[in-house]
Amino acid sequence: MLHHILLATRNEDKRRELSVMLGDEVIIHHPDEFSDQEVEETEDSLWGNALLKARHGFKSSGLPSVADDTGLEVDALNGEPGVYSSRYAGINATYNDNVNKLLKELKAFLEKERTTRFRTVIAYVDEHGEQRFDGLVEGTITMDKHGASGFGYDPVFKPDGYTITMAEMSLSTKNKISHRGKAFRAFVEWWQNKNNTD
């Protein structure tokens, strides 16, 4: 039986990651099918922003809706960029702009002083209510960029226990250990259990 959900993001990288995890039995719909309105992330927490987007997705589509927000928390920068990670270098910043600003801010710090974590919060909204799923991965920020895969801060994020950045990993390896992979896996497990018992 085919199931339909709305992934309330226009980020094609995130859509590709979730599609791989959910498999062929789920049709993932795009927000542009229902609304051309871009939801502004106005909340001061990852959960708040994820919930804002998922609620809007459900309201506009009537489909079960999933949204996430992710933050990079760098200890040397007192947890920044955090909730502002996607727009660290400005509202229309590119991945590269954000990474360059981060490296500039950390210029005076040795790699061992660049401890950090990626945190993802996923919100799911349907007619029955709301659910939350979390994922976390610890690591360090490298001195410069490495790798061409992945997106966002992946070229400078080296997970604990690895000698390469997330941008140097295959998608399957990244999904096994990443913050978003952990959160999405928790969601997928819950979703599959839910639909097996409905």
Q: Give the predicted TM-score (pTM) of the model.
A: 0.86
69 carries an active-site annotation: yes
> What pLDDT score does 198 carry?
56
Task: Classify residue 23 as exposed, middle or buried by CB count within 10 Å of its CB (0-12, 13-18, 19+).
Answer: exposed
Residue 58: in which H helix or E strand, if any?
Answer: helix 46-61
Whether domain 3-197 has CATH 3.90.950.10: the reply is yes
Strands 65-74 and 3-7, bridge-based pairing: parallel
pLDDT band at 188 (very low <50, low <70, confident <90, very high): confident
pLDDT in tens, 151-172: 899 999 999 999 999 999 998 8
Residues 123, 159: Cα–Cα separation, whole Å: 24
For residues 172-184, give the mean pLDDT: 87
Higher pLDDT, 129 or 15: 129
> What pLDDT score does 197 carry?
61
Q: Are 148 and 167 in contact (CB under 8 A)?
A: yes
pLDDT in tens, 91-147: 889 999 999 999 999 999 999 999 999 999 999 999 999 999 999 999 999 999 999
Q: How many CB atoms lie within 10 A of CB 55?
A: 17
pLDDT band at 195 (very low <50, low <70, confident <90, very high): confident
Domain locations in the chain as residue ranges: 3-197
Question: Which one from 68, 69, 97, 126 is the annotated catalytic residue?
Answer: 69
